[in-house]
Each structure stands twice: as C-alpha cells, then as structure tokens.
Homo-oligomer: A and B are copies of this chain.
Amino acid sequence: MQLAEIQEEFRVRQSSFEAAYPDLLASSSLYRTPPGFRDAILYALHAGGKRVRPVLLLETASLCGIDQRKAMYMALGLELLHTYSLVHDDLPAMDNDDLRRGKPTTHKVYGDDIGILAGDALQTLAFEMFARAGVHSNTLLFFAESAGPCGMVGGQYLDMKGGAMLRDIQDRKTGKLIESSLALAYIEIDSPKKDRVARWGRLLGLLFQITDDILDASGTAEELGKTPGKDARDQKATWVTQWGAAKTRRKAESIVRRLSKAAVSIFSGSAFLQSLPAFIYYRRQ
C-alpha cells in the first residue's frame, strides 16, 4: 500500500470512530453527570488526537469477527483511558504542560482540581464502556493490567521518578496500551494468535515513541500539536538524546522492517495493518 493510500484508509477508520462515539457516550452515565463536569470531560476527549488506539481496535475486531457495536464500545474505552492519562500527565504536579494538541490543556481551562477529577472520571468511563461492551473477564483483566501500576500508570511513575531505563518506561507508558489496542480483540475471541499479536503491539508502541521523539526534536508546534523541543528543555531522556538523530532513525527503520515482515503472516487479512508501521514512521519524516 502506498503512503497516501494508507493515510486515506486511516482517515476512513478514524472518521467512523468520530461519527459513532458520541452516540455511545450519549447513552452512558456521562449524560447523567453535572453539566459543568461533563463539559470538562468532553473538552479533553474532543481535543482531537489521531485516535490511533480506536482505529487499531476497530481493525483487529473486524479481523476477529467481533460485533461492530461491541468493538466501538471497546474502542471508546481505550480512547477514554488514553485521554485520562494525557489529562493527568499535563497537570502542574506532573509534566506541567499548557498546550496539548495545539489547545490549552484541561486544567488550564477548568482549574487543577477539575483537571484531576476529569481525568479520574475519564478512567472510570473507560471501564464503564468495557462493561457496556460486555467483554469477557479475561479481556477486562488484560485491559486493566495494561492500564494499571505494572502497565501504563507504572510507566508514568518511572518517568516521573527518573533513573529507569527508557525502554522500560516506554514499554509500559506507551507500549502497553498500543498492545491492548491490537490484542484485546484476539483475547476476546480467545485466538491462538493473541500472544504474537501482543508482542507485535508492544514493538509498534516502541516505534510510536521513537517516532514521537524524532518529531519532538525536529518538528514544529503545528505538526506536533504540542510545544516542540520540550523534551530537550526539560532534559528528558529520549531516544534522540540517548542515541543521536541518525542512529535513532536507523533503529526506527529496522523496527519498521521487522514489524512489516511479521505483519504479513499475523495480519494476513489486513493490508492496512501490514502497511501501518511504515505509515507511522514515514508520516512526517
């Protein structure tokens, strides 16, 4: 698949998520929520973003033959969980970011207290969506562990404390949820492929992070949707600060090749997933 073609395929899946999720939210407990609080929660969720996790979930769920409404609830759950993590990451006690995806962060608009509570509520809503999807307990368990202290929020802890290996931080902080986005559908149908898919997903998560690091070091605010060069100013360890730009690119390109090759057999039914690693890496190089 050509890059323009997969970009279009990505957009189609993104749009189908954007079109469908407001209805699911409208029948959730969010619409029995104090209106000012609902506004803060929706502000964070509507701020945009690439909807990568929902797109991955919807694609794999379709390969696994999962009912579309159920898949959409799971996709929304993933996006809500991802959004909670961004809202809390941006708080003054954490990364202290004023901009996210080119807009003022939730706590800048609604205050630090509501930023904390909106993040909390986004996490609870994520699990509400998995309840509404009616997933099996094993699926729920995998999702909870991916999000929890040995997964995403544990990665955030390591990132805050410093001193941990970059790879360990990122495998947890970014990798586990990307892994979930791909593996949950296979876990839900108890597919023998589920472990291979999960490993592929972790490596894809690493590729995401490496690509982000390259962009942070070289991109503009408009391209990034956040303040560029922030990692360097914060003296944050990234792949680029650790390896330099040239080696980071070589590593990324080698991961793209490994993932693309493995995808041919793992995702034989999806040209989209086979082309995705290249798309992620080359989208703005």
Chain B residues in 8 Å Cβ range of A38: 149
**Known contacts A113-B94, A117-B157, A157-B117; is-contact A125 B140 (Cβ 8 Å):** no
Q: Are B93 and A113 in contact (CB under 8 A)?
A: yes
Q: Is A231 on the interface with B (CB-CB < 8 A)? A: no
Of A1-9, A28-36, A98-106, which stretch is located at the interface?
A: A28-36
Q: Is A212 on the interface with B (CB-CB < 8 A)? A: no
> A161 vs B40: C-alpha distance in the bound complex, in angstroms?
13
Residues of A57-110 whose CB lies within 8 A of B: 84, 88, 91-94
Q: Is A186 on the interface with B (CB-CB < 8 A)? A: no
> A94 vs B114: C-alpha distance in the bound complex, in angstroms?
9
Chain B residues in 8 Å Cβ range of A34: 149, 154, 157-158, 161, 164
Of A10-18, A127-135, A241-249, which stretch is located at the interface?
A: A127-135
Chain B residues in 8 Å Cβ range of A262: none
Q: Are B131 and A112 in contact (CB under 8 A)?
A: no
Q: Are B123 and A33 in contact (CB under 8 A)?
A: no
Q: Is A145 on the interface with B (CB-CB < 8 A)? A: yes
Q: Is A141 on the interface with B (CB-CB < 8 A)? A: yes
Interface centre among A115, A145, A150, A158, by most chain B C-beta atoms within 10 angstroms, is A150
Chain B residues in 8 Å Cβ range of A157: 34, 36-37, 114, 117, 121
Chain B residues in 8 Å Cβ range of A161: 34, 36, 114
Chain B residues in 8 Å Cβ range of A268: none
Q: What are 27 A-B residue pairs whose CB atoms fall within 8 Å in the complex?
A: A29-B144, A29-B145, A29-B149, A30-B149, A30-B150, A33-B148, A33-B150, A36-B157, A37-B154, A37-B157, A38-B149, A84-B120, A88-B117, A93-B113, A94-B113, A114-B161, A117-B153, A117-B160, A120-B153, A121-B154, A124-B144, A124-B147, A125-B144, A125-B149, A127-B140, A131-B143, A132-B141
